[in-house]
C-alpha cells in the first residue's frame, strides 16, 4: 500500500496488512490488539517494514489496548541491530471493534506523548487503526497531525 505525502512516498509493507488482518475484531470475543511500527527512512521515501504483535505483557480488552513498553523496546532493539541501525521506530498500530475506525482521545494523547517524550530519529510518525472494514492512517510530525485518511475498504467474502 502506497501513499504520497508532500514529496515523500510512504510504503506500507503488504506483510503488515496481513498481520493487522489477523487481529481484526470481527467477532465479540476478540480483544484489541496492537504494537509498534518500524521501518526505513530515505530522502524521498519512508518504508514501514515491520510491526510488533501482542504479547502476554500487553493489557488487552474489547475496547482498549495498552502495549507493554518493555516488549516494544525489545522489538525495537532487535530490529535496530538486525538492520545495522537503519530500521527505527515509526509509530503505532492497533485494532478497533468498529467498521470505520477513528482514534479515541486517549489514542491521540498517548501517541502525541510518545512522539514528544522519546528521542526519535524520524520527522514523521504513523498511527494505524485497523477497523473491521476500513483502516485509519494518520501522519504526525512532532507538532501534531499533518494528514489522515480512512482507507482500504475490507471486502466482504
Ligand atoms: Zn484506539
Q: What spacing in Å lies between the alpha carbon of 108 and ligand 1's midpoint?
A: 8
Q: Specify the pLDDT at position 91.
A: 96
Q: Is residue 156 part of a domain?
A: no
Q: Is residue 157 part of a domain?
A: no
Q: What spacing in Å lies between the alpha carbon of 66 and ligand 1's midpoint?
A: 9
Q: What spacing in Å lies between the alpha carbon of 43 and ligand 1's midpoint?
A: 31
Q: Is residue 134 part of a domain?
A: yes
Q: What spacing in Å lies between the alpha carbon of 129 and ligand 1's midpoint?
A: 7
Question: Can you read off the three cell numbers belonging to residue 19?
Answer: 498481520
Q: Specify the pLDDT at position 38.
A: 97
Q: Give the chain's domain count.
A: 1
CATH number at residue 28: 3.40.140.10
Q: What spacing in Å lies between the alpha carbon of 101 and ligand 1's midpoint?
A: 8
Phi-psi region of 138 (alpha: psi -120 to 50; beta: other; left: phi over 0): beta
- Would you give per-residue pLDDT tens digits along the chain (157 residues)? 888 888 999 999 999 999 999 999 998 899 999 999 999 999 999 999 999 999 999 999 998 888 888 999 999 999 999 999 999 999 999 999 999 999 999 999 999 999 988 777 888 999 999 999 999 999 999 888 888 888 765 554 4
Q: Is residue 120 part of a domain?
A: yes
* Pairing label, strands 8-12, 34-41: unpaired
Q: What spacing in Å lies between the alpha carbon of 102 and ligand 1's midpoint?
A: 8
Q: What is the pTM of this model?
A: 0.92
Q: Which positions ≥6 away from 110 have C-beta within 8 Å?
A: none
What gap in Å lies between CA 62 and CA 147, rounded to an integer? 27
Q: Specify the pLDDT at position 118.
A: 75
CA distances from 77 to 63, 73, 120, 155 (A): 29, 6, 13, 36
Protein residues with C-beta less than 5 angstroms from the ion ligand 1: 104, 107
Which structural domain, as residue segments, surrounds residue 87?
2-151
What gap in Å lies between CA 22 and CA 27, rounded to an integer? 12
Question: Helices (DSSP H) in 4-127: which residue ranges?
Answer: 14-22, 69-82, 105-117
Q: What spacing in Å lies between the alpha carbon of 59 and ligand 1's midpoint?
A: 13
Amino acid at each position: 500500500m502506497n501513499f504520497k505525502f508532500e514529496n515523500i512516498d510512504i510504503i506500507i509493507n503488504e506483510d503488515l496488512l496481513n498481520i493487522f488482518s489477523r487481529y481484526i475484531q470481527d467477532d465479540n470475543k476478540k480483544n484489541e490488539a496492537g504494537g509498534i511500527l518500524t521501518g526505513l527512512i530515505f530522502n524521498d521515501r519512508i518504508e514501514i517494514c515491520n510491526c510488533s504483535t501482542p504479547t502476554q505483557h500487553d493489557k488487552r480488552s474489547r475496547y482498549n489496548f495498552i502495549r507493554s513498553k518493555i516488549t516494544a523496546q525489545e522489538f525495537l532493539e532487535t530490529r535496530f541491530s538486525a538492520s545495522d541501525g537503519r530500521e527505527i521506530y515509526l509509530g503505532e498500530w492497533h485494532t478497533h471493534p468498529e467498521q470505520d475506525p477513528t482514534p479515541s482521545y486517549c489514542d491521540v494523547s498517548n501517541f502525541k506523548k510518545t512522539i514528544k517524550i522519546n528521542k526519535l530519529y524520524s520527522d514523521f510518525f504513523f498511527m494505524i487503526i485497523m477497523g473491521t472494514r476500513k483502516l485509519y492512517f494518520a501522519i504526525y510530525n512532532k507538532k501534531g497531525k499533518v494528514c489522515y485518511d480512512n482507507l482500504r475498504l475490507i471486502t466482504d467474502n
